[in-house]
Amino acid sequence: MVMSDMESAPAAPARIAGVDEKILAERAREAASTRRDVLFDVSRLTVSYADVPALKGVSLEIYKNFVTAFIGPSGCGKSTFIRCFNRMNDLIPSANVDGTILYHGIDLYGPEVDSVEVRKRIGMVFQKPNPFPKSIYDNVAFGPRVLGWKKDLDARVERALRHAALWDEVKNRLKASAYSLSGGQQQRLCIARCLAVEPDVLLMDEPASALDPISTTAIEDLMHELKREYTIVIVTHNMQQAARVADMTAFFSVEVDEEQDRRTGVLVEYDATPTIFTNPGDKRTEDYVTGRFG
């Protein structure tokens, strides 16, 4: 268990347009006041599709009650990586995961571990809102029902919707189809759906990229709220978003093998968000966050 050993936030000016120094300073202060408990310990993780590695040799730690952001260019394996945390890659027949991810010290890919149990604790929100073709209520109740939690279903649904800051908007039409909601509301419904099964961790793969700015703000505010109880891992293409919500940021990049015509994702740098954005240790990170990439 590591107590905060955060490098003091560098005073260097923010070099990226749109990322507010004040926000970064706040991030740094917050991070400094939070203890770091390792929740996930990833070591030498390699994921291949049909024996072609898409992501290679990733090692990092994810801390409890932190928001951790993965950023990087398209195709560098962010989605691939985040899907490893709740074994969603098991559903892709050609995918193969090497290396270990320890969760509370247990290897997620150990022989005894049941992927269904893993997903109960580690929920996931997808890029495009994917509500079930059912009523709002049934969407949220699906998880508890599947787990056989029949008691106090109404209260549980309400709690989840309140948590997801959606209750007031839908409380009068719980029986309406989930498709009648706006995109932003649908995404919060999907978050509520995850919260209803009381997970430990929320994985979010570009949760706001299909949404308008106002809905995006709503989701970001929600993340701030939720991280008190949950650990959040988020993939984002939006660097301002990473700067606004994330405590830790991991930057991934693509290594191109010209000979074999292969593109493999690698972890370039992983650090406190202010460091990544103001004082990155790697040239590639700097190019990316300052927009000089590609």
Partner 1 sequence: MTAQDATAAAQPEPIRLRGERRRWGEDVVKGILALCALVSVATTIGIIIALVEPSIEFFREVSIVDFFSGDRWAPLFTPASFGIQPLLVGTLVVTFWACVVCLPCGLGAAIYMSEYARPRVRNVLKPALETLAGIPTVVFGFFALTFFTPLLQDLGLGVNVFNVLAAGLVVGVMLIPVVASVSEDAMSAVPQELRDGAYALGSTRLQVSTRIVVPAAISGIIASYMLAISRAIGETMIVLIAAGGIAKITFDPREQSQTMTAFIGATGIGDIPTGSIEYKTIFAVGLTLFVITFAMNMLSIRLVRKFREIYE
Partner 2 sequence: MSVTTESLGSRSHGDRVRGTAFYVLLLVSVTIGFLLLGVLLVDVIRKGIGYVDPTLLNEPNSSDPNKAGAGPAIRGTIYMMILLLVMVVPIGVGTALYLEEYANRERWYNRLLEINIQNLAAVPSIVYGILGLAFLVRGIGLGRVLLAGALILTLLVLPTVIVASREAIRAVPDSIRQGAYALGATQWQVVWRQVLPASIPGIATGSILALARAIGETAPLLLVGALTYVAVNPTLLGSYTALPVQIYQWIARPQEEFRVLAAAGIIVLLVILLTMNAFAIWLRNRYQRRW
Residues that bind partner 1 (CB under 8 A): 1, 3, 35, 37, 103-104, 106, 108, 110, 112-114, 116-118, 121
To partner 1, the closest distance from the beta carbon of 289 in angstroms equals: 32
Task: List the interface residues with partner 2, window 254-293 (CB under 8 A).
Answer: none
Pairing of strands 122-125, 248-257: unpaired
180 binds partner 2 (CB under 8 A): no
35 binds, among Mg ion, partner 1, ligand ATP, none (CB under 5 to 8 A by kind): partner 1
146 binds, among Mg ion, partner 1, partner 2, none (CB under 5 to 8 A by kind): partner 2
88 binds partner 2 (CB under 8 A): yes
274 binds, among ligand ATP, Mg ion, partner 1, none (CB under 5 to 8 A by kind): none
Task: List the interface residues with Mg ion, window 52-91 (CB under 5 A).
Answer: 79
Contacts of 205 (CB under 8 A, 6+ apart): 78, 79, 82, 83, 124, 125, 126, 127, 234, 235
What is the Cα–Cα distance from 10 to 59, expressed in whole angstroms? 25
79 binds, among partner 2, partner 1, Mg ion, none (CB under 5 to 8 A by kind): Mg ion
With contacts defined by CB under 5 A, how many residues of the chain interact with Mg ion?
Answer: 1
68 binds partner 2 (CB under 8 A): no
How many CB atoms are closer than 10 A to CB 144?
A: 20
15 binds partner 2 (CB under 8 A): no
139 binds Mg ion (CB under 5 A): no
What is the Cα–Cα distance from 259 to 241, expressed in whole angstroms? 36
74 binds ligand ATP (CB under 6 A): yes
To partner 2, the closest distance from the beta carbon of 157 in angstroms equals: 13
Q: Which residue has the tokens 């408990």?
A: 37
92 binds ligand ATP (CB under 6 A): yes
Q: Which is nearer to partner 2, 116 or 256 (CB)?
A: 116
Nearest in space to 190 (alpha carbons), one of 245, 238, 143: 143
What is the Cα–Cα distance from 35 to 14, expressed in whole angstroms? 25
User: The sheet that has 262-272: what strands, in order across it?
Assistant: 106-107, 95-103, 38-49, 52-63, 262-272, 248-257, 67-71, 231-235, 201-205, 122-125
Task: List the interface residues with partner 2, window 189-248 (CB under 8 A).
Answer: 190, 193-194, 197
What is the Cα–Cα distance from 276 to 289, expressed in whole angstroms? 8
For helices 183-195 and 136-146, angle between their N-to-C axes, nearest 10 degrees:
20
Q: Where are the alpha helices (DSSP H) in 164-199?
A: 167-170, 183-195
Q: Which is nearer to Mg ion, 68 or 79 (CB)?
A: 79
To ligand ATP, the closest distance from the beta carbon of 209 in angstroms equals: 9
184 binds partner 2 (CB under 8 A): no
State the residues that interact with ligand ATP by CB under 6 A: 49, 54, 74-80, 92, 94, 263, 265
